[in-house]
Structure 1
Amino acid sequence: MQIVLMRHGKPKVDKHYRLNAAEFGVWVEQYNAAGIDTGFQPPQEAIAQANQCAFTVCSNLERSLESARLLGIKRIGLHSSIFREMDIPNAAWRFPTLSLQTWLIFFRLAWALGYSGKTESFKSAKERAHSCAIHLANLASTHGTVLFVGHGSLNWFVAKYLKQMGWLSDEKPPRKYWEYSIFHMHTT
C-alpha cells in the first residue's frame, strides 16, 4: 500500500502586500478562493508519480482541485472539506501595517498558542488531520495507491500521523509547490 502526499501548485495570488490585520483576513479569504498559477506547471516527475496512483483525494479548495487536473488526473475519487488547509486566524486590527509574511508567521504562532479567533482551533485542526490520515490509510487499503493533493500545514500533520500509524517514509512532508513524499505500508 502507498500514500503519496503532494502539495498543490503555486496559487494565483499576490503575496507582496503590506497590510493591517483586518486586510490580512480579506487576503486569507482570497487565498482560499484562488486557483493555480498555470505559469508554474508541475514537473514531469510529479505528473508521473500522480498518475501511478489508483485513487486521488483533494480538498474542496480550488487550488487542490486545479492542481489535480494539471497533473493529468482524469477522475478525482474524493474531494472534501475535511482535507482543506488548516485555518489561518486573523483579527480586525487596523494597525500596524506589516508584510504578508509577517502576518502569516504571527497568526500561525498565535494559533498554535491557542488564539483561533473565529476559525478552527489548533487542537481541532490536529484532530482533523488525524482523521485525514486514517481516511487516507483506509482508502489505500482499498485502492492500493492513493494520491492526496493537499496543503502545506495539513500535509505536515497528516505525515506525522501516518508515521505514528506505522507508515514508512524516508522523505520529509512536502513543503514546496508540487513537492511530494511517499508513504508505504507493507502488508503481510
Structure 2
Amino acid sequence: MTGRIITARHGRPNVDRSVRITAKEYGAWWANYDLSGLAPGEEPPGSLVEAAGDCHVVLSSTLPRAIETAAKIVDHARHVPQDAMFVEAPLPPPPVPFLKLSPTTWGVISRIFWFVGLSPKGVETHRGAWRRVRQIADRLIEHAERGDHILLCAHGYVNWMLDGHLRKRGWGRECHVGDNDYWSWRSYRRVAPDLEAVTDMGERKPS
C-alpha cells in the first residue's frame, strides 16, 4: 500500500520582526533568519506530533529552524536526516532604495521581485526552485511508493510549491492544518496515477 506524505512548516524562529529596515538591511536580516533556531517556548501542536508518530521516515532541511522543529516533533527520540535540497526558496533583498519597512513587508516585496525574475546573479531563480521542488517530490514519492509514511519538516513557500506539484501528480490532500502559519502541516495520499513522473533523461512517462 502506498504511504502518506506529510509536509510541515517550522515553528516560529527567534528573530525580531518589529524592526524597520532598508532593503539592504533586510538582506542581513534574512541571513540572520536563516541562522536562527526556534523562539523560546515554541512547541509543536499535538496533531502534528501524533501524525509524525505514524511516520517511518522524518526528514528536515539543513536550516536550524527546521532542524529544531523536527527534533521537537519527534521529541529528540529518532534520527532525522537533513538535506539542503529542502531549504526555503530564496528571498534576496530587492533593489529598492531609501524605504524603511518591516521584515515581513520586505519579504512580500522580495518574493514578488524574485517571482518575476529580478534577483541577483547566483541566486536560485523561480524556475530553478520549481526544478528543485520536482526533485523533492520525486524523493518523497519514492519513499511513499515503498509503503513508507514520510514527514518533511521544511518551509512555508517550498511547502506551498510542493502542495500544487504533488496534487498535479495525483496526490490528494487529506488534511491541511494551520493554513501556512508556523507549525502548519499538510497530509497527502495517492488518489490518481502520476502523469508527471520523469525518467533520468527528463522524459515524461506514466507511472
Residue 183 of structure 1 deviates from its aligned partner by: 0.2
Structure 2 match to 1:79: 82
Alignment CA distance shift 1:18-1:54 (3 Å)? same
Cα distance between partner residues in 1 of 2:147 and 2:11: 25
TM, length-normalised to structure 2: 0.84
Overall identity of the aligned pairs, in %:
29
Structure 1 match to 2:107: 104
Q: What letter matches 2:105 in structure 1?
A: T
Secondary structure of the equivalent of 2:60?
strand
Q: Which runs of 5+ in 1 are unaligned?
A: none
Structure 2 match to 1:13: 15
Secondary structure of the equivalent of 1:78?
coil
> What are the Cα deviations for residues 125-144 of structure 1, in whole angstroms up to 9, with x where unaligned?
11111111111111222352
Is 1:32 aligned to 2:34, yes or no?
yes
Secondary structure of the equivalent of 2:187?
strand
Q: What letter matches 2:109 in structure 1?
A: F
Secondary structure of the equivalent of 2:26?
helix
Structure 1 match to 2:186: 181
The structure 1 segments of at least 4 consecutive aligned residues displaced by more than 3 Å after TM superposition are: 91-94, 170-174
Higher mean alpha-carbon deviation, 104-113 vs 65-74, is at 65-74
Bigger relative contact order, structure 1 or 2 (CA pairs below 8 A, ≥6 apart): 1
Higher helix share: 1
Q: Which runs of 5+ in 2 are unaligned?
A: 194-207
Aligned-residue Cα RMSD (Å) equals: 2.1
Alignment CA distance shift 1:81-1:11 (3 Å)? same
Secondary structure of the equivalent of 2:171?
coil
Alignment CA distance shift 1:9-1:135 (3 Å)? same
Q: Any conservation in 2 of the 1:55–1:143 contact (CA below 8 Å)?
A: no
Residue 67 of structure 1 deviates from its aligned partner by: 0.5
Residue 99 of structure 1 deviates from its aligned partner by: 1.9
Cα distance between partner residues in 2 of 1:94 and 1:186: 48
Is 1:157 aligned to 2:161, yes or no?
yes
TM, length-normalised to structure 1: 0.92
Is 1:127 aligned to 2:131, yes or no?
yes
Structure having the higher Rg: 2
Alignment CA distance shift 1:13-1:143 (3 Å)? farther
> What are the Cα deviations for residues 136-185 of structure 1, in whole angstroms up to 9, with x where unaligned?
11122235200001100000111111111111114458511111111012
Cα distance between partner residues in 1 of 2:108 and 2:167: 26
Residue 78 of structure 1 deviates from its aligned partner by: 2.6
